Chains A and B, each alone.
Chain A
Amino acid sequence: MAIITRRTFMQAAGAAATLPVLGNKAFAAEKIKIGFIFLGPVGDYGWTWAHNKGREQVEKELGDKVETVYVENVQEDASAIPVIRDLAQQGCKLIFTTSYGYMDQTVAVAKEFPNVKFEHCTGFKRADNVATYNSKFHEGRAVLGTIAGKMSKTGTLGYLGSYKVPEVVLGVNSFALAAQKQNPNAKVKLVLIDSWFDPPKEAAATETLINLGCDIVTTHTDSPGPLQILEQKKLYGFGQGADMSRFAPSAHLTAIEDIWGPYYVERVKMILDGSWKSSDTWDGMKEGTVVISPYNKVIPDDVKKMADDIQKGYKDGSYDIFKGPIYDQAGTLKVKEGETMKLADLAVIDWFVKGVESAA
């Protein structure tokens, strides 16, 4: 374990020179280096935090054979190129770039290092040594939508999102469709705040949604701020990316957890045994990438059962929220009865389903 954890770092800061040197263990055997590029700080308790958990799992399971290195707070501009290149030059055999905004930079560096393998998260540009991977977060949204549709008294649900990107659009649609299965009149009010992380704005947007009649708000931004607001107002919401129940024990109904560890471990193992190939992976509940946190005890048993059934359905392939008929906001039929949206169409979706109220 070469990375200093937060805790040891602070202990070291406190105890100054009395502690033995941390983070500088000499490596007896030559370990294979695995690199990670992170968008936020590992302590964001959201997106980057979840990816770092995955990195920690690689350390835990394969720590005798590999060493992991990460860089946090890497901007999604041209300056990401040297950071990615650095990891390649330092001998990393596999590098995970964990945000969409590193797509072109990853491809550019990969051209320079044909012998290093790259994995870009949520992008679509691949090469012989660049694989892409993503997670079907929207499967989790269907579970949340079901719970929200059942538990909302007003039938007006809030959705706090970041930007209009396919991942968020899918989340909104999945949530709205699932809620409407329980309550055909359910409406979803959508606010996109132009940021993945802005706690004060997330909080104010949550209050706004509540004030406009939403009694359940789900978040597709990264901070636990909205849940804290819901806790104060004695309303309900869901965690994003991780189990956030500690921030809002009563308001937190459940959460979608991003579990990257199994995929990371699998891919690192492929590097170790030489079987790594470029691929496009879009895992979901079935593969354990999307996990639903333990339910809050206020969720009635019948609702819990419905939520469990959807999870089961996704795991055995019998359930899909994007089955027709599906109408868009204007009421145009987009998916006919009996048809199911294909993954390729889901990946580029840019329209909201009927019942979603949003600004242009």
Chain B
Amino acid sequence: MKKKNLAALLMAGAMSFSLLAGCSSGGGEASTPPASQPGAQASQPAGNDGNGGEAVTIKVGGIGPTTGNNAQYGTATQWGAEIAVDEINAKNGPIKLELQYEDDTGVADTAVAAYNSLKDWAKDAPLVIYGCTTTQPCVAVASETFADRYFQLTPSASSPDVTNGKDNVFQMCFTDPGQGNAAAEYLKSAGLGTKIGVIYNNGDPYSTGIAEAFIAKAKEVGLEVVATSTYPEDTTTDYTVQLNACKDAGADLVFLPIYYTPASLILAQAKQMDYAPIFFGGDGMDGMLDMKGFDKSLAEGLLLMTPFNAAGTDERTKTFVETYQAAHEILPNQFAADGYDCMYAIYEACCQIDGIADMDSAQLCDALSALFTGGQFSVDGLTGSGMKWLTTGEVSKAPVVVKVEGGVYVTQ
């Protein structure tokens, strides 16, 4: 018996060492995509770069959940950004980007630790923070970058608290209240839904933020909200109580400002109980059609507001979708597209800054912030063209409402 235990211990030890050996090579490859290799080799403190002909490398530190409950959103923002960085570095332009992505597991204190390890990674080279993916960690990191003077651009942290009072933090996504207001105004103008039910996650700032703004705006424009029901976390699996509340109140439209994983269960359970209102969702709903094992017919007729359509026909979207699918075997969602746009926003802004070669992180932060709020700077991306930023850090771009028809998005 004792010998068996010792043997088990040795085996476990051997296994973990083989794992360590395996990932020292494998992990290295995964974190540096081949195309960014030249950029990585050319990396040097920008201050030493005397001759104007050589490219300046800007270090981009990404933060988001790649493990845990929110991993699918974090990996999407990581992969989207990686594609953009590869494209940018392949251009051989005046600026090269070097991306390092750290896992924050969707938790604020881990995100701050991740941010600090990115500071160690960059050392004295100019660093720009890209992230975080989720709201709560982003608020914690934003106040750190504000104090330390690093420029920060988040792909998807949408609460106004992220940018509130900080001149160095900018968003690529709509803010939560902005999206709630836009949803209510759209329903009013499209004449959809006489009685509206709302189901949201009251443990999530994103979901609560949209729902509260939507309900307030609905009252203002004269929409009737007949039922409001909540659930505490996205790992909930049974939504029949919430659906029944909407059904009993006679709601013919249900607004779901939630992420696609719980929303897919809501659609399936509504079908089982023969409840067929119009479902209307926010940008967190994008990605549902590409979930493994999801019956696309459930989403037929679903309306959602999203800045990105993977079935888009323009050249840039097509290339992005193809590259993304080739690398990761799934369709990119708006998180990935926002990530892609963030890299281009950083790149194009850096190209417009004079004397960037001699700047440190704080100077770069001030220069970028001034440019973003200057009113002249705009970026074309996958999630909008001519995107500009307000002095509050909010992006201004038009929300697009799409309807799922035959398993693809049709712009309304």
Q: Do A and B come from one complex?
A: no
